[in-house]
Structure 1
Amino acid sequence: MGNSCVTGSGRSNQGQCQVSNGAQTTFKWTIDGFSSLLDKGNAWTCSSVFQIRGLNWYLRLNLRDKKSGDKEEYVSLKLVLAQRHVRSDKVVEASFQFLIYDQSYGKHHEEHQVSHNFQSTSTTSGTSCMIPLTTLKEKSSGFLVNNCCILGVEFTRVVVAEGKDVSETLFVQKINNICCDPQVYSWNIDDFFLLKNLSISPVFELCGHKWFITIHPSGQDKSGNYLSLYLSMKVSDTLHENSGNLVELSISIKDQETGKHRKLSGRCQFSKNSLSWGWPKFISLEDFKDSSNGFLLKKKCCIEAQIAVIGSSKIE
């Protein structure tokens, strides 16, 4: 789960860029089921995509992050400007601070005042670890109450379009919950070279939702040196406008000879604002087409998606 998937859908308001020093705007993220998420190990969990000041953002959380040369575990939080939402010739200048809420006294503890320039080629805030895990778990701290913690980000300066405060609650299911059992779909492609620049698999149903795989055989970067793969949720009335599903997903290109598959995994939230997640540089075309790797044999290949819905979210 060390590799991070990126959102592959959604649009933002591309109005005139300007800098605002107006009222602060905050996104709150409640983790209900903290211990369940902690038990899932060292990996990044993505919040739903939220809109503040006309731009789409999401948070990435790791409850078991490590510093180089330090055995202690840390809670890390990063802010990401959703890719494809910023033109290549624009820069989003943002000042913000990460928050962790003391629920016992109704206050928040400020961590990491950050100023960062977001561009299409640099969309992550690049913050350091926020707080030691042991500190967060201390009963006297008030950070963790009834297996629930509240994190957030507060903007003080950003390229603007009018927006309101947004909050989200993430409900993480227990590991032994039957809904967490992963389900698998395999897409057998008989002739890779007949695929169009953007091709999709047949629609399939896993974990109570309909999905499809999107492939860009020549990638999405200008060099055309990579194969891109995304998992997309088919738009459904069952997905409410203000709710989402936390999904552990893996996409694999099967090695048809040795079983050494190319596999990338992520933990991402699917909602009506973010229906697609994946990897623009899943594998280099050189490695994919090298017959000794077993990925492409006699024009045939097999792509596998593994999905487990491990939680849900509600935006208010």
Structure 2
Amino acid sequence: MEAVFENQGGVARSISDAPPAHYTLKIQLFSLLVNTSGQKYESAEFEAGGYKWKLALYPNGNKSKNVKDHLSLYLAMSNTSSLRLGWEVYAVFRFFLLDQNKDNYLVVQDAMSKEKRFHGLKLEWGIDQFLPLKAFNDASNGYLVEDTCVFGAEVFVVKERITGKGECLSMIKDPLSIKHVWRIDNFSKSDTECHESKVFIAGDQKWKIQLYPKGRRLGSGSHLSLYLAIADPTTLSPASKIYAEFTLRILDQVQARHIAGKGNYWFSTVSNQETGWARFFSSSYFNQPGNGLLVKDVCLVEAEVTVHGIASAF
């Protein structure tokens, strides 16, 4: 049985004897959550309508929307990276709050719109003023009893569709510059066309250095070629782009007069997975005794990488 008893400010409230069909969130010692979790608590993932969702609860109200003296509660899509580009999901949802005194539920939903459109730029919808804190904290109402409360949600997907493509560029404030030194032993004894360094992390991205001892492309047969490359493009979405400043160096092990090349580049998982110099310097210069670039058949290569921005499709 369900009865609507309030419809104010675009929010419909009703009473239901039936529990939420898709997810229940029980919180014990709620007062400790308020004091320790900060502004927001996110539930674990749950599935409804073939998609992953989370509840986002603001125990003291969503400060970013200037909510005061109320609980704020939202439904957020989760794990959307596996969805096709340009996805849209239309869903109807309801929130539940158990009245522990009467053993029924307060049901809260948006009365102004029956369905909400979730997409790459809007992953979260909900109720800013879900319930006044005064009413929630009053044990006689049954919502918070012995510092315990129970929330819930039902989510029904109405329709899905694929729209045009788009991308989101996220620039990084105060990015860190990461250095990686790579030691190549027995340099002259290797017949490898391309030496590849171990994978290293810079800007939360995986990179590797590539060195061609006998050159590549325009440098073939006369120069060393040196490149910075995305280590594993398959781990990124198809349309991802990474903007990075970088320096590649062959280290002078004797006089510390390193040979360096500097650049900046939009790395792409589609066609621009690497960049560098086919003619980094001549093979004859590299092999000259005493210049410190090859000492006891050891070559030291250094990469310094700063990631400034990442673009991904939605």
TM interval, shorter chain, is 0.3 to 0.5
Q: Could you tell me the TM-score, scaled by structure 1's length?
A: 0.43
Higher Cα Rg: structure 1 or 2? 2
Q: Could you tell me the TM-score, scaled by structure 2's length?
A: 0.43
Whose RCO is larger (CA < 8 A, sep 6+)? 1
